[in-house]
Amino acid sequence: MGKINEDLVRQIINNVVSEYQGKAVKEVQPETPVIKTVTCPVNEQDVEILVEASARHVHLTEEDIETLFGKGYKLTPVKKLTQVGQFACKERVTLIGPKNIYRNVAILGPARKETQVELSMTDARFLGVKAPVRMSGDLRDAADIIIATDNEAITAKGSAIVAQNHIHMTPAQAGQWGFTDGEEVSVKMSTERPLTFDGVVVRVSETAGLAMHIDFDEANACLFKDGDMGLIKRSRCGSQAKVQLPKMKEEQKPIEMAISINKRFVTEEDIKKALRNVNYSGITLPKNVILSAPAKDYINKEKINITFI
Ligand SMILES: [Zn+2]
């Protein structure tokens, strides 16, 4: 084995190391924005709430009820729901999609202004329809689906949605806990397989019964059982919301400087004036300066670093 040129090797190593170091220095100074962590005020308490899982169901207009069940037909309530005035009906319908059908689907009364079919995402895939996630009543881009009884069938155009999870509460409850209509909150499920739903919408109305509504996909995801509760945490507090602040430009950085006041008698006002609009490290004063009593107090209170020269 021939003798290696140690100087050459050392030079190569130096080059590689310095290149690497140059790179490394670049990498440790990324253009990261300043992240400020906002923590939840301690006095904001979590609110425990009853959770209800909704199976697939339909809401029908008077007109569609008459088409499906006959002229002048009135739905038969069999069970009151937590929302005041709402009920489950004895009557059932069949949902027919391009791929599959579901029989024995519940109807919730009373009649509504628009026919609405609420599915889970699994239901929608099974039926073969593209149902968007929407708040109840918002039927933008909702899917078409066929609703049938033994004798009749209608095409409910733009009616099928996957219901956005939400919480019902009255204005009094919203006021008591500091929630507003439409606010998004996080809810931690107290279930066998706990998980937290973010972006849960608060709906405030006089007829609300305090409850959170989730669909069966969400219920199954957390192994929900009847009677399980959820804990409402405001979104901004749920997981320590992070506020991104714009990065301060180099030239905007305040420069720390010592301020000197060349006066024999210095008042509180003199000090405040000198420190206005600057980021100071301390103040230098003449050795024989006379400080007014308020000036002394101000210096002590603000813990201003004083040097006598
Ligand atoms: Zn609801």
217-226: pLDDT as tens digits: 999 999 999 9
Q: Tell me: pLDDT of 206 over 70.
A: yes
Letter for the amino acid at 82?
A: T
**Mean pLDDT, residues 235-242:** 42
Is residue 29 predicted with pLDDT exceeding 50?
no
* CA–centroid distance, residue 291 to ligand 1 (Å): 69
Question: What's the CATH code of the domain at 176?
Answer: 2.40.40
Cα 243 from chain centroid (whole Å): 13
Residue 124 backbone class (left: φ over 0; alpha: ψ -120 to 50; beta: rest) = alpha
Burial 133-167 (b: 16+ CB within 10 A, else e): ebebeebeebbebbbbeeeeebebeebbbbbbbbb
Shared domain for 188 and 225, answered yes or no, is: yes
Q: How far is the CA of 163 from the centre of ligand 1 (A)?
A: 9
Q: What is the mean pLDDT of residues 202-209?
A: 94
For residue 263, tell me if it sits in a domain. yes
**Confidence bin at 257 (pLDDT 50/70/90):** low
Mean pLDDT of the 277-294 span = 81
Question: DSSP letter at 277?
Answer: T
How many structural domains is the chain composed of?
A: 3
How many angstroms separate the alpha carbon of residue 134 from the centre of ligand 1? Answer: 12
Full-model pTM: 0.62
- Phi/psi-derived region of residue 227, left when phi > 0, alpha when psi is between -120 and 50, beta in every other case: left
Distance of CA 32 from the midpoint of ligand 1 (Å)? 41
Strands 306-308 and 279-285, sheet pairing:
parallel
Are both 125 and 184 inside the same structural domain?
Answer: no
Most confident of 141-150, 244-253, 256-265, 278-287: 141-150
Q: Which residues of 255-275 are buried (b: 16+ CB within 10 A; e: fewer)?
A: eeeeeebeeeebbbebbeeeb
pLDDT of residue 39: 42
Distance CA 70, CA 256 (A): 83
The C-alpha atoms of residue 135 and residue 168 are separated, in whole angstroms, by 12
What is the pLDDT confidence band of residue 152, given thresholds at 50, 70 and 90? very high
* Same domain assignment for residues 174 and 146: no
Distance 166 CA to ligand 1 centre (A): 6
Residues 165-178 have a mean pLDDT of: 94
Does one domain contain both 227 and 264?
A: no
Q: Does residue 69 lie within any of the structural domains?
A: yes
- Structure token pair of residue 243: 């506020």
Burial class (CB in 10 A: 0-12, 13-18, 19+), 98: exposed
Has residue 89 been placed in a domain? yes
Residue 28, domain member (yes or no): no
CB 262 within 8 A of CB 234: no
Cα of 165 from ligand 1 centre, angstroms: 8
* Residue ending a domain, choose from 96, 130, 162: 162
C-alpha 246 to ligand 1 mean position (Å): 39
Strands 196-204 vs 184-190: parallel, antiparallel or unpaired: antiparallel
Q: Kindly give the distance from the C-alpha atom of residue 42 to the centroid of ligand 1, in angstroms, as a whole number.
A: 30
Q: How many whole angstroms from 278 Cα to the centroid of ligand 1?
A: 56
Inter-residue long-range contacts of 298-304, CB under 8 Å, 24+ positions, other chains counted: 298/268, 298/271, 298/272, 299/271, 304/271, 304/275
Percentage of the chain beyond pLDDT 90 is 58
pLDDT at 35 over 60: no
Range of the domain at 285: 250-308
When pLDDT is cut at 50, 70 and 90, the band that residue 233 belongs to is confident
Q: How far is the CA of 162 from the centre of ligand 1 (A)?
A: 12
Calculate how far, in angstroms, residue 52's C-alpha sits from the geometric centre of ligand 1: 9
**Domain shared by 265 and 229, yes or no:** no
Residues, CB-to-ion distance under 5 Å, ligand 1: 213
Mean pLDDT of the chain: 83
Distance 82 CA to ligand 1 centre (A): 9
Residue 176 Cα, ligand 1 centroid: separation in angstroms? 21
Dist. CA 272 → ligand 1 center (Å): 58
Tokens matching residue 117: 């079919």
Average pLDDT over residues 282-292: 85
Average pLDDT over residues 294-308: 87
Q: 77-125: per-residue pLDDT in tens?
A: 999 999 999 999 999 999 999 999 999 999 999 999 999 999 999 999 9
Burial of 221 (0-12, 13-18, 19+ CB in 10 A): middle
Q: Which has the minimum average pLDDT: 58-72, 90-104, 261-275?
A: 261-275
Centre of ligand 1 from the C-alpha of residue 213, in Å: 5
Q: Decide: helix, strand or coil at residue 254.
A: coil
Q: What distance in angstroms lies between residue 119's CA and the mean position of ligand 1's atoms? A: 13
Residues 6+ apart with CB under 8 A from 73: 65, 66
Residue with the larger pLDDT of the pair 257 and 142: 142
What is the pLDDT, as a whole number, of residue 277?
61
CA of 237 to the centre of ligand 1 (A): 24
The residue out of 129, 146, 162 marking a domain boundary is 162
Q: How does residue 299 score in pLDDT terms, banded at 50, 70 and 90?
A: confident
- Banded model confidence at residue 19, pLDDT cuts 50, 70, 90: low
Q: How far is the CA of 98 from the centre of ligand 1 (A)?
A: 27
**Whether pLDDT at 232 is above 50:** yes
In a domain, residue 299? The reply is yes
